[in-house]
Amino acid sequence: MAMQPFFFYGVLMDRELLALVIGRATDGLGIEVATVHDFIQRRALNESFPILVSHPGGRAEGVLVTDLTAADVDRLKFYEASDYEGSDYALAALPVECRGEFLAAQIFMPTAHIAADEMVWDFDTWAAVDRPLFMATVQERMSRYGRISAAENNALWPQMKAEVERRFYASRGDA
């Protein structure tokens, strides 16, 4: 049985970052431009990544990814800190427009535990400004996969992020 496609609207549109999260190359995946309607991307409060916010008439651009394995999805759930009580994200099925047709896709939707900033999120701006530090943070986050739970990993996020930032800026001489 084939996995339902996933729609990614933020940093997971970056193929190198997606590969880091799923732990393998993305070459065998189907990745196509897609849109979810009546939502927009807003920057998560105090973060560089986006969340989807309901916005009638809005359009959130992203990618529809097919051919993910059960192991890929498990790693995605760990990364997104979903699937536990009090998680930041929950999987939801929403219609996504791809190639002029609407398909059901799984989307990591923010829960009440994560808030939006007023700033609209833009992939190109993120890639130009925040990507290098974010990649280092994701590498640290995913290094714990299989060793601790997603809930435990998420609880470590503030200190993990601060430590990665300290090392990142020190390595550049910005400390």
Rounded-to-integer distance, Cα 8 and Cα 3, Å? 15
Which two three-digit tokens encode residue 149?
């739970």
Q: Between 47 and 175, where is the model more confident?
A: 47
2 pLDDT band, cuts 50/70/90, is low
pLDDT for the residue numbered 49: 94
Within a domain: 34: yes
Distance CA 48, CA 92 (A): 22
Task: Say how many domains are in the chain.
Answer: 1
| Position 109 pLDDT exceeds 60 | yes
**116 assigned to some structural domain:** yes
| Residue among 85, 143, 134, 131 at smallest CA distance from 112 | 85
Q: How far apart are CA 135 and CA 21, in angstroms?
A: 10
Per-residue pLDDT tens digits for 80-103: 988 777 788 999 999 999 999 999
Degrees to nearest 5, angle at CA 113 with 136 and 155: 50
Query: Tell me: the pLDDT tens digits for 121-158?
Result: 999 999 999 999 999 999 999 999 999 999 899 899 88
Residue 62 lies in a domain: yes
| Beta bridge partner(s), residue 154 | none
Each as own residue / partner, the long-range contacts of residues 24-28 (CB below 8 Å, 24 or more positions apart, any chain) are 24/72, 28/67
56 assigned to some structural domain: yes
| CATH number reported for the structural domain that contains residue 41 in this entry | 3.10.490.10
Q: Which residue in 168, 89, 102 sits closest to 134, CA to CA?
A: 168
The reported pLDDT for the residue numbered 86 is: 79
pLDDT at 174 over 70: no
Choose the most confident range, by mean pLDDT, from 1-10, 83-92, 99-108, 111-120. Answer: 99-108
Q: Which domain holds residue 138?
A: 6-171
Per-residue pLDDT, 77: 94
> Do the beta carbons of residue 105 and residue 91 sit within 8 Å?
no
Residue 1 lies in a domain: no
